[in-house]
């Protein structure tokens, strides 16, 4: 029996992060998901001036909110990252609390429909303009002061918990009557949490069929009471491990999972497929039921057929159900699921295309899929489109054996389930292979200026399926931020502000992007202004401390290749493999000049060589984290080596340090 615990439920965590700070008294919520999505919600609330303290504990994030509501500056920009829940619930909060702000997100979120939430909020009187493409993010939103929003009776055409939540939050914060009905009940976490915080809502917890909820402020004094809860495990994350248990034929026990009826429709589908699942109730948490599940895999899975009002209750598990269908006896059908076309990717299209590529017979319909299960080897590549649930679903298929899948983006699982790939390992059949032979760890690449650290580290990471982390990104981001605040020349001001600065690495395709004070500076990090100041800013002890701490967090959920000047000595002294790249100064000068792309003369080389030698002296003699080779680092002199050979040499060393093979 494999025992597992999954991270805190993402939907409940979002609501805790977004609603607890609005209470008039203090809240403590433990066990929040520490995925990128929930972090986007916490970050946005901080940008809105909410007093939220956030600590990483063994079982996820703990947030402590002083209460007392929001206190934003003028129209802050709120980056919702990949998270539709953050964007849509925030729209309701802004509308109801009379705040102006700009909501934006990553390219996937920018492509998702926003009209469904903007339209009812406009009908209530909020002023909202599309700042980019029509009906998409970014939007400029200006709420109305309490009491001036209009009452609304909203009849949703699709079942959407996010839209329902936005309207409810707007109504509650502005204290106007709202009613929402939906064709099939969507998850009701917002209703349960608001009721727990003392809001008079009329709803019927756990009912199935059409949904109906209303808020009536008459007789309500107002003011949300603080929230105390531990977020139960995420059933949508658990579903992947249950799927791995069923496909791999190994019994599993999943502890303390949220068992909200709006979320666990997939259990009935798995039962249709022949799985045995024992459900043991545990005491509820803040109105949310909890259960521990024991999964007994059957001797082979049967096909299933789903549609109608079950769909909202299995909406996030359909990618997993589709890969299980590929291995079931018979033809499975998924109907009435057009909503999947507007999730983090067009999930119907991505599932159909990928399954077909692997050799599964699949029919894509406008609102669903028909999938003919098959046995035998499945082989091919999986383009996840950065969609976490697609990556994890195909990861489960790969782990079950008789499959050879190359998944292009493993890191996107961090959106909802950091640590997923490690959790999947015990379910894996057969010997580990390729990019899945993951044993955890860090490769540190150090060296003097222009020694080719970054490009080498990037190629090594790509070949191994590790993530590339460049410490310079963080130094540049802090410099960029200091320039924007007009304090880039003022070391003392930077040192005073940087410990409280919201700066972090966010996993992005194959590596990390940096997010600082709610923004992603992107190419601005390479501007001449930043380049001119970054060396001085990075010499400040407080800055180095913050960067060191952020870098050390990056290896918690991924294998990484990290490059810089003090990675093997100061940041990761325990790295599994340390490389120190050197090259003669003249050769480094030539490489740098070639990189700039303009023609150059022998004189230019002379001058650049002298500059590089001076920089070397400075880096080696600075008091804090001077450039030096760690005693256990392997030095590679690249003066007369082409870049490919340097990468190959490191891959060979990595093969013995990690037991991994490159792609």
Distance between CA atoms of residues 227 and 330, nearest Å = 48
Distance between CA atoms of residues 420 and 432, nearest Å = 16
| Contact present, 126 and 149 (Cβ < 8 Å) | yes
Position among 4, 45, 161, 199 found at the interface with ligand S3P (CB under 6 A): 161
The closest of 512, 529, 507, 528 to 473, measured between CA atoms, is 512
| Contact present, 418 and 268 (Cβ < 8 Å) | no
Distance between CA atoms of residues 86 and 14, nearest Å = 7
Site string for ligand S3P, 515-554 (x = CB under 6 A): ----------------------------------------
CB of 78 or CB of 161, closer to ligand S3P: 161
Site string for ligand S3P, 482-521 (x = CB under 6 A): ----------------------------------------
* Shortest distance (Å) from residue 312 CB to ligand S3P: 7
The closest of 118, 101, 127 to 43, measured between CA atoms, is 101
Only one of the segments 20-28, 160-168, 240-248, 378-386 lies at the binding site for ligand S3P (rule: CB under 6 A); that segment is: 160-168
CB of 315 or CB of 508, closer to ligand S3P: 315
* Token output for 292: 């521990």
| Contact present, 590 and 470 (Cβ < 8 Å) | no
| Contact present, 327 and 297 (Cβ < 8 Å) | no
Position among 13, 33, 82, 85 found at the interface with ligand S3P (CB under 6 A): 85
660 interacts with ligand S3P by CB under 6 A:
no
- Cβ-Cβ contacts under 8 Å for 617 (sequence gap 6 or more): none
Only one of the segments 155-163, 168-176, 549-557, 572-580 lies at the binding site for ligand S3P (rule: CB under 6 A); that segment is: 155-163
Beta-bridged to residue 228, according to DSSP, are 28
638 interacts with ligand S3P by CB under 6 A:
no
- Cβ-Cβ contacts under 8 Å for 528 (sequence gap 6 or more): none
- Only one residue has tokens 């615990």, namely 5
Distance between CA atoms of residues 536 and 605, nearest Å = 25
Site string for ligand S3P, 5-44 (x = CB under 6 A): ------x--x------------------------------
Only one of the segments 53-61, 154-162, 394-402, 526-534 lies at the binding site for ligand S3P (rule: CB under 6 A); that segment is: 154-162
Q: Pairing mode, if any, of strands 211-215 and 201-202?
A: antiparallel
| Contact present, 570 and 548 (Cβ < 8 Å) | yes
Only one of the segments 103-111, 127-135, 158-166, 210-218 lies at the binding site for ligand S3P (rule: CB under 6 A); that segment is: 158-166
* Token output for 569: 């000595």
CB of 164 or CB of 590, closer to ligand S3P: 164
CB of 154 or CB of 187, closer to ligand S3P: 187
* Token output for 82: 């990949």
Considering 234, 316, 387, 563, which one is annotated as catalytic? 316
Distance between CA atoms of residues 361 and 352, nearest Å = 9
Distance between CA atoms of residues 601 and 501, nearest Å = 44
Only one of the segments 156-164, 489-497, 561-569, 583-591 lies at the binding site for ligand S3P (rule: CB under 6 A); that segment is: 156-164
CB of 338 or CB of 501, closer to ligand S3P: 338
CB of 91 or CB of 519, closer to ligand S3P: 91
Only one of the segments 97-105, 157-165, 393-401, 545-553 lies at the binding site for ligand S3P (rule: CB under 6 A); that segment is: 157-165
* Shortest distance (Å) from residue 165 CB to ligand S3P: 6
| Count of positions on this chain that bind ligand S3P (CB under 6 A) | 11
Position among 166, 176, 315, 660 found at the interface with ligand S3P (CB under 6 A): 315
* Token output for 411: 């890191």
162 interacts with ligand S3P by CB under 6 A:
yes
Distance between CA atoms of residues 333 and 321, nearest Å = 10
451 interacts with ligand S3P by CB under 6 A:
no
Angle ∠(388,314,354) on CA atoms, nearest 5: 45
Does the active-site annotation cover 555?
no
* Shortest distance (Å) from residue 581 CB to ligand S3P: 44
Contact positions with ligand S3P (CB under 6 A) in 168-207: 186-187
Position among 82, 86, 160, 459 found at the interface with ligand S3P (CB under 6 A): 160
As to burial, measured by CB atoms within 10 angstroms (0-12 exposed, 13-18 middle, 19+ buried), residue 398 is buried
Beta-bridged to residue 443, according to DSSP, are 561, 577
Residues that bind ligand S3P in the complex, under the rule CB under 6 A: 11, 14, 85, 160-162, 165, 186-187, 315-316
Which residues are designated catalytic?
A: 316
């Amino acid at each position: 029996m494999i025992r597992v615990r999954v991270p805190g439920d993402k939907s409940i965590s979002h609501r805790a992060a977004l609603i607890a700070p609005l209470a008039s008294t203090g809240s403590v919520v433990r066990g929040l998901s520490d995925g990128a999505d929930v972090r986007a919600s916490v970050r946005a609330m901080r940008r809105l001036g909410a007093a939220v303290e956030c600590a990483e504990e063994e079982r996820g994030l703990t947030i402590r909110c002083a209460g007392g509501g929001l206190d934003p500056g003028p129209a802050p920009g709120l980056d919702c990252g990949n998270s539709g829940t953050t964007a849509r619930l925030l729209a309701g909060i802004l509308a109801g609390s009379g705040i102006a702000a700009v909501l934006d997100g990553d390219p996937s979120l920018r492509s998702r429909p926003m009209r469904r939430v903007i339209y009812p909020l406009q009908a209530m009187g909020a002023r909202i303009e599309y700042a980019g493409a029509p009906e998409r993010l970014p939007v400029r939103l200006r709420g109305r002061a309490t009491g001036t929003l209009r009452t609304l009776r909203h009849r949703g055409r699709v079942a959407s918990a996010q839209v329902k939540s936005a309207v409810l939050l707007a109504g509650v914060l502005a204290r106007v009557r709202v009613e929402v009905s939906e064709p099939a009940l969507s998850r009701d976490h917002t209703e349960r949490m608001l009721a727990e915080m003392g809001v008079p809502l009329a709803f019927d917890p756990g009912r199935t069929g059409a949904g109906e909820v209303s808020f009536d402020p008459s007789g309500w004094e107002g003011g949300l009471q603080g929230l105390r809860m531990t977020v139960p495990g995420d059933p949508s994350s658990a579903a992947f491990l249950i799927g791995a248990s069923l496909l791999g034929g190994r019994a599993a026990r999943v502890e303390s999972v949220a068992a909200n009826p709006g979320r666990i429709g997939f259990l009935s589908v798995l039962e249709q497929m022949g799985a045995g699942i024992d459900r043991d109730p545990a005491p509820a948490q803040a109105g949310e039921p909890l259960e521990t599940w024991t999964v007994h895999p059957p001797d082979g899975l049967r096909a299933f057929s789903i549609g109608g009002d079950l769909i909202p209750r299995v909406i996030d598990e359909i990618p997993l159900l589709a890969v299980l269908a590929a291995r079931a006896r018979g033809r499975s059908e998924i109907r009435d699921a057009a909503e999947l076309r507007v999730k983090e990717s067009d999930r119907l299209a991505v599932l159909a295309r990928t399954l077909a590529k692997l050799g599964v017979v699949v029919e894509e319909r406008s609102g669903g899929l028909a999938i003919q299960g098959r046995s035998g080897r499945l082989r091919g590549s999986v383009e996840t489109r950065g969609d976490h649930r697609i990556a994890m679903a195909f990861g489960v298929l790969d782990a079950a054996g008789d499959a050879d899948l190359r998944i292009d983006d493993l890191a996107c699982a961090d959106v909802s389930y950091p640590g997923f790939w490690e959790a999947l390992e015990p379910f894996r059949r057969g010997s580990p292979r390729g990019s899945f032979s993951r044993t955890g760890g860090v490769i540190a690449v150090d060296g003097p200026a222009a020694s080719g650290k970054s490009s080498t580290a990037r190629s090594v990471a790509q070949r191994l399926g590790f993530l590339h982390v460049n410490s310079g990104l963080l130094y540049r981001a802090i410099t960029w931020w200091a320039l924007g605040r007009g304090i880039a020349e003022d070391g003392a001001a930077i040192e005073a502000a940087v410990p409280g600065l919201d700066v972090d690495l966010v996993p992005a395709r194959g590596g990390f992007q940096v997010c600082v004070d709610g923004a992603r500076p992107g190419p601005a990090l390479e501007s001449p202004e930043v380049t001119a100041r970054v060396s001085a800013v990075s010499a400040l002890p407080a800055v180095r401390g913050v960067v060191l701490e952020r870098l050390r967090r990056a290896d918690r959920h991924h294998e990484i290749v990290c490059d810089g000047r003090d990675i093997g000595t100061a940041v990761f002294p325990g790295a599994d493999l340390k490389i120190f790249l050197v090259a003669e100064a003249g050769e480094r000068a030539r490489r740098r000049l070639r990189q700039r792309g303009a023609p150059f003369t022998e004189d230019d080389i002379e001058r650049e060589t002298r500059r590089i030698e001076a920089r070397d002296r400075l880096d080696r003699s600075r008091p804090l984290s001077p450039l030096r080779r760690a005693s256990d680092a392997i030095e590679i002199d690249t003066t007369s080596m082409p870049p490919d050979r340097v990468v190959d040499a490191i891959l060979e060393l990595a093969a013995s340090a990690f037991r991994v093979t490159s792609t």
